[in-house]
Structures are given as structure tokens and as C-alpha cells.
Amino acid sequence: MRLVELRKEFDYVLIDAPPLARYGDAIALGKLTDGFVLILEANSTRREVALTVSENLRAAGIKILGAVLNKRTFPIPERLYHLL
């Protein structure tokens, strides 16, 4: 299997999987990995969906290594922006 070959060649192998809330393929793929890093989109991913996905991963015996919150913005107040 190609994944076994890649593990021998590299220290880390990252696999970009489809959204877990919509596709079950990632769960099957996850069983071949050391764990998942969840990518959560700010202001889009609902808390309930994230909790359901994490429960499904744990139920399948897949370790959650961490989570990343992306597309988060931190607006700079205008009075501070002019000082930059």
C-alpha cells in the first residue's frame, strides 16, 4: 500500500480529507492514520457539528491530535490602525 511506503520515506505524512460532516470516506481513511487534526472554519463550522464529528472519530477509535481554527479575523480598531 502506498501509505506504508510513504511512512517509511517521511517523518510525517499529511492527508487532506473531505469534510467529515458530509462524507464518511474520511473515517475509513482515518483508521489508517495515527490521528486527525480537525480544521474548523470560524463563523461557519457549528459547534454541534464539530462535537458530532469528534464523537464519531472517537467512536471509530481514531485519535484527535488537535484542531485548527481558520479564517478567523481580528479587526484592528481604526484609531489603532492609523498608528501602524
Q: What is the pTM of this model?
A: 0.72
Q: In whole angstroms, what is the distance from residue 11 CA to residue 83 CA?
A: 44
Amino acid 30: pLDDT: 83
Over residues 1-11, mean pLDDT: 88
Over residues 1-5, mean pLDDT: 85
Task: pLDDT band for 16, please (50, 70, 90 cuts).
Answer: confident
Over residues 46-61, mean pLDDT: 91
Amino acid 37: pLDDT: 93
Contacts of 34 (CB under 8 A, 6+ apart): 63, 65
Over residues 50-79, mean pLDDT: 89
